[in-house]
Structure 1
């Protein structure tokens, strides 16, 4: 009970003892509750026998990225046979990391209407999400030039499948707020935010595929102001901000002007990692100031491949807060539609080749 005697009672000390006691009790009963700020403040020091509520110490974590994934051709056969093994041996590499992410370059539907006039349209049943989960993938982006290949009907089916599966997918939503909304998780005390967006959209579909406040669609990096706004917003309450982009020019080995312009702006806005692909081949990876940028992850789980387009792998970053401590490339080659890790001399040669790609990308091997 609060026994503090209000100042107004002190000046009335001439009253009788019983009156004074009654006034003190009345004051205690009407005292305001403790401030919420005081109640909710974490305990930083404790008395004997009281447990500490100090925040856990942040420790490094790993996140792995793979490139473009769909389930057409031979991959549909694999998916139908057993979704849990559809990604093949690369699953062991993805599963080793705390977080794994890929670009899901397909609509999740068995219906919808193919985008009119589009040469290549990709779709897959909801078991595609089962396959990603089983392979150790934790989050995917559908912000790409195939995410709405089956138009609004396909989008409706995709969003429904995502909701049913409870599998995190960024870069797509029932409106712009949902499409740009980051996926959030906490790993080893690190609050991680992942945002997905596409810089690549066919001109005739930019309007119909881009999410708006009242229409579903994809998060577009062409609306650069909105993307930068989301990065700044995520920066305020995240330890690591990651932007996954669909960007680049098909089969062009060096980043294009749009990529080179956007990457430093994202870093300046608060992104710690910018990674993505589209070109069907590998592009450079490395440090841009204090941030880390990957300009092209290439194909990953893909129905056709050749000497260049079949070169792939897994990029694994070790991160603590805002700092990328280490990057590691696990090289692979696409065989039968899925990535098969390379070992021995072939693996070492592939890593050397991957490191050389940063030469024309303007990226560094170490942070500044």
Structure 2
């Protein structure tokens, strides 16, 4: 089992942008940090080679196109993101026509610790970092999943192979779809889920590193139960995204750094699709979840995260229950999330596995389905991506089929059962190819 080694700063990071020694001679960057904002001042413009090989001059691009800097500021990553997504198609030049391209140094980022941003450092011993994702979990003892957890412990719900897949990942994330509280005042809804706060520590038993709280059950027991959930996870040191004590906290990404690469994780929920849902959205002064029924704030959060991170993961609660293909709202939101700069979209909520797709360079898992959640579930899965920090990109995506029995105990199938599970997901996902070993690639 890979030992998970990290340093949690509990405060955070802010990015200072600079180049390699050759760059510093011509691209001297000074960072001014004032009230949480960042301004980058350069002494002289010069093109650099971005991590994907594209030659780009952020200083020239910003000066040449003031409409872009007016909207995005002067951060080189934000300017390059604009060029990739819009500028090239609009015919904008990435560098001056007369620029000297005989020697183009590489561009890289250097992290600087700063208060106010949640940040975790991952050991990068082999230039390979894995993120693994699972769907919904419910520890409420009034339901079969919670009863099995109560009897065997959370780790006891898994066989050795599935447990290793979670524990051995550098970062393992799931959707925590219930409250941690002892509150008896439930919301007036058909289904409500709650577990005692003492259960939270068992998340560590299966290798969990971070949870999403952006869902429609974390507020099932009102404001009191919701705040108890935040207090419980804070108390055991478990990072969470997609919820907070105010909108700023709920919308805040959690950042990871591995070598020279920084990864942002954001979570949001589109469910419930109404103006005044039972699950309260966070406001400037009130706790709640990060709602993206109106996706404007989510798009802004992604754009801001990409000024600080090389890679952005968005974990989103969306879709139509029991529908195995994405609905129109999912398709529209996925396109918007991708356009905003997300590099990976992980979905859940529909209580079934859905299509795996690809938008440009961005994998989209429309739903991971239930995990340890309901006794009617049979097919479930993990989805894993491998990142290469030296290149600042994903190098492998994998679908790992799992089987859930009537007691909500999960095993990793082998042989013909595994092949059949891969084939079922392949049938849902015509835009990707799923190989016999589970690797997922886009079809040309």
**Is the TM value for this pair above 0.5?**
yes
Moved more, 242-251 or 324-333: 324-333
1:195 aligns with 2:287: no
1:88 aligns with 2:158: yes
C-alpha separation between the residues in 2 aligned to 1:58 and 1:234? 26
Any conservation in 2 of the 1:142–1:172 contact (CA below 8 Å)?
yes
1:107 aligns with 2:175: no
Aligned ranges for residues 169-248 of structure 1 at < 5 Å?
169-201=240-272, 203=274, 205-206=276-277, 209-248=280-319
1:299 aligns with 2:382: no
Question: What SS does the aligned partner of 2:217 have?
Answer: coil
Say which structure is richer in helix.
Answer: 1
State the Cα RMSD in Å: 2.8
Any conservation in 1 of the 2:433–2:442 contact (CA below 8 Å)?
no
1:62 aligns with 2:130: yes
Any conservation in 2 of the 1:103–1:140 contact (CA below 8 Å)?
yes
Any conservation in 2 of the 1:79–1:128 contact (CA below 8 Å)?
no
C-alpha separation between the residues in 1 aligned to 2:443 and 2:282? 35
C-alpha separation between the residues in 2 aligned to 1:121 and 1:61? 36
CA drift of 1:76 comes to: 2.7
Question: What SS does the aligned partner of 1:300 have?
Answer: strand
| Residue in 1 that maps onto 2:387 | 319
TM-score, normalization: structure 1? Answer: 0.79
Summarize the Cα distance change of 1:362–1:201 in structure 2 as closer, same or farther, 3 Å threshold.
Answer: farther
C-alpha separation between the residues in 1 aligned to 2:146 and 2:279? 28
Partner of residue 71 from structure 1, selected from 136, 139, 146: 139
Question: What SS does the aligned partner of 2:229 have?
Answer: helix
Moved more, 165-174 or 105-114: 105-114
Deviations 1:102-159 (A, max 9, x none): 111111112152111x110001122332122110111110111111111101012111
Unaligned runs of 5+ in 1: 1-39, 46-53
Aligned ranges for residues 1-368 of structure 1 at < 5 Å?
44=21, 59-72=127-140, 73-81=143-151, 83=153, 85-89=155-159, 90-116=162-188, 118-201=189-272, 203=274, 205-206=276-277, 209-305=280-376, 309-320=377-388, 323-335=393-405, 336-359=407-430, 365-366=441-442
| Residue in 2 that maps onto 1:49 | none
C-alpha separation between the residues in 2 aligned to 1:211 and 1:362? 39
Question: What SS does the aligned partner of 2:204 have?
Answer: helix
Question: What SS does the aligned partner of 2:277 have?
Answer: helix
Question: What SS does the aligned partner of 1:228 have?
Answer: helix
| Residue in 1 that maps onto 2:72 | none
C-alpha separation between the residues in 2 aligned to 1:349 and 1:188? 38
Task: Work out the number of aligned pairs and report it.
Answer: 317
CA drift of 1:207 comes to: 7.1
CA drift of 1:93 comes to: 1.4
C-alpha separation between the residues in 1 aligned to 2:338 and 2:170? 23
Say which structure is richer in strand.
Answer: 2
C-alpha separation between the residues in 2 aligned to 1:367 and 1:189? 30
| Residue in 1 that maps onto 2:6 | none
C-alpha separation between the residues in 2 aligned to 1:248 and 1:236? 29
Q: Which structure would you say has the larger Rg? A: 1
CA drift of 1:160 comes to: 1.0
C-alpha separation between the residues in 2 aligned to 1:317 and 1:92? 16
C-alpha separation between the residues in 2 aligned to 1:278 and 1:41? 41
C-alpha separation between the residues in 2 aligned to 1:329 and 1:41? 37
| Residue in 2 that maps onto 1:5 | none
